[in-house]
A = this chain, B = another copy of it.
Amino acid sequence: MKTCLDCIPCFFEQALRAGRIATDDDRLLKRLLDEIGSMLKEISLENTPPETGRLIYQMVSEITGNPDPFREVKHECTQKALSLYPSMKKVIEDADDKLLAAVRIAIAGNVIDFGPTASFDIDKTLKDVLDTDFAACDYSAFKDRLAQADRILYIGDNAGETVFDRLLIEQMNKPTVYVVRDKPVINDATHDDAVQAGIDRVATIVSSGTDAPGAILSTCAPEFKQMLEESKFTIAKGQGNFEALSNELYPIFFLLKAKCKILADDLNVTQGSIILKSMNI
């Protein structure tokens, strides 16, 4: 997916939001926006949004001098999600279709995001997502392919969401490699965040090698790219991974909430829809 003109005001909003978490010095924040303004000329609309997001969040870290503004926020989100783990585990156990319930809960977790959205209510979202129809649903293919798969490549997205991913991984119950960002970017999960969520108990955690908020292959490590090439059953969570990978030719099941209007339009669904979409399957 390419960056579109409407992404540009949104990047300034995101920079300001992230900047404010890193500093309360308005002069620094103005400088941050000025620098992003100067950088705009060099940003091509051919970029995927996470490629541009990467530059924006690098600038946030550079100007504010804080390499991980969301560190505390990520920790809190994971704690909050862990407190919901037992009740969500029970929802899955009580469901007629346990796998489907786990998929829905994993998508609900995707609402934990400080990128395109300013605020979220995870309790409300869990309830909504369990009751809402998918706008795009390839669940039957998902179930079939999962049954045939002997291992799973699971590309994670945000910290906190990781706990809900863990529930799905437990339900799928196959050897799983869980992929995290290499370095902090927004509230995306890194190795430490995944461990805090207990992912290490159910999967092998590996880094994609990227510091972008999405697995942009040109910024990923060769080891991850090889895994992706060889994988017969890949799940990619969230909007950033969708934007980064939707034009690649690998078979992938994307699980996400369409948080922004641009992505929703691209997928021909309404904003806020929950999506299980297969590509190249």
Tell yes or no: A16 within 8 A of B by CB.
yes
A12 touches B (CB below 8 Å): yes
Residue in contact with A5 in the complex, picked from B6, B16, B40, CB distance below 8 Å:
B16
Residue of B nearest to A40 (CB): B37
Q: Per-residue CB proximity of A29-71 to B under 8 Å, as 1/0? A: 1100110111111000100000000000000000000000000
A45 touches B26 (CB 8 A): yes
Hey, which chain B residues are within 8 Å of A34, CB to CB? 40-41
Which residues of the partner chain B approach A13 to less than 8 Å between Cβ atoms?
9
In the complex, how many angstroms separate the beta carbon of A32 from the nearest chain B beta carbon?
9
State the CA gap A41–B39 with chains docked (Å): 12
Query: How far is B8's CA from A37's CA once the two chains are assembled, in angstroms?
Result: 10
Contact residue among B9, B30, B39, B40 (Cβ-Cβ distance under 8 Å from A9): B9
A195 at the A/B interface (Cβ < 8 Å)? no
- A199 CB to nearest chain B CB (Å): 34
Q: Which residue of B lies closest to A12 (CB)?
A: B9
A56→B200 CA distance, assembly (Å): 51
- Chain B residue numbers with a CB within 8 Å of A33 are 5, 8, 40
Asked whether A30 lies within 8 Å of B5 as measured between CB atoms, the reply is yes
> Quick check: B26 and A37 within 8 Å, CB to CB?
no
CB of A41 within 8 A of CB of B40, answer no
Q: Are B45 and A41 in contact (CB under 8 A)?
A: no
The reply to whether the CB of A149 lies closer than 8 angstroms to some CB of chain B is no
Can you identify 18 A-B contacts, CB atoms within 8 angstroms?
A5-B16, A5-B26, A5-B33, A6-B16, A8-B12, A8-B16, A8-B33, A9-B10, A9-B12, A9-B13, A33-B40, A34-B41, A36-B37, A37-B37, A37-B38, A37-B39, A38-B38, A38-B40
Which 9 A/B pairs are nearest by Cβ-Cβ distance? A37-B37, A37-B40, A9-B12, A9-B13, A34-B41, A9-B9, A34-B40, A8-B33, A5-B29
Residue numbers of A with Cβ under 8 A of B are 5-6, 8-10, 12-13, 16, 26, 29-30, 33-34, 36-41, 45
